[in-house]
Amino acid sequence: MTDMTNNPMETLLDLRRSIDNFDAALIHILAERFRCTQAVGKLKAEFDMPAADPGREQRQVERLRKLAEEASLDSDFAEAFLNFIIKEVIRHHEAIKHEAKGS
Amino acid sequence: MTDMTNNPMETLLDLRRSIDNFDAALIHILAERFRCTQAVGKLKAEFDMPAADPGREQRQVERLRKLAEEASLDSDFAEAFLNFIIKEVIRHHEAIKHEAKGS
């Protein structure tokens, strides 16, 4: 990253380049994470395993809050972020269930 | 990642290990992304640059939707994800502004 001694517009553009790179990384990691949760959804549907696992979810929240703190990220934000993703996962799992019922 | 020929509980645990690794990666990239947006906030406050840039935001949305499609990720989810992060960025920027006013 650039130091702040350059002209401010240059510094801004440089920071934005980093932000764009991080966003691309986030999107690709998220895509791979959803591939995993889709596989979990199919597995649970196939073997009649319970869809929800509150213990697992609680451990995920605690772990992410701790990781966030270590990385100087707001741990409440980290928890909200996980919930945001989990909501989408549940939407996917419901779609898998409907597909399974339809077939 | 494991194939599905193992016993389902082993497969589930294996998928969860991947999910946990991806979550750790997401948290650390998010932390670094916020370091960049914090720097942007300070820069804009220092040089009296406008806080919002609707053109930039529109370009970010379009780019992320395209990246998401290429990665087989729901592009509406990618846009919602970006908005979720931007909301937090705005919260940070407002805090920076208040700090600057207070000092």
Grouping H, G, I as helix, E, B as strand and the rest as coil, residue B84 is helix
What pLDDT is recorded for position A92? 85
Nearest to B81 by CA among A62, A29, A97, A63: A29
Burial of B40 (0-12, 13-18, 19+ CB in 10 A): buried
Residues in chain B: 103
Integer Cα distance of A92 and A99 in angstroms? 11
Answer for the pair A72, B28: CB distance below 8 angstroms, yes or no: no
* Best residue in A43, A73, A88 for a mutation probing chain B (most B CBs within 10 Å): A73
Amino acid identity at A62: E
Contacts of A90 (CB under 8 A, 6+ apart): none
Chain B neighbors of A56, CB-CB under 8 A: 16
Nearest-5° Cα angle at A27, A24 to A30: 145
What pLDDT is recorded for position A13? 96
* Best residue in A77, A88, A89, A92 for a mutation probing chain B (most B CBs within 10 Å): A77
Please judge whether A27 and B72 are an interchain contact, meaning their C-beta atoms are less than 8 angstroms apart. Answer: no
Q: What is the pLDDT of residues A48-101, one digit of tens each?
A: 998 888 999 999 999 999 999 999 999 999 999 999 999 999 888 888 777 777
Q: Which of residues 74-103 of B touch A (CB under 8 A)?
A: 74, 77-78, 81-82, 84, 88
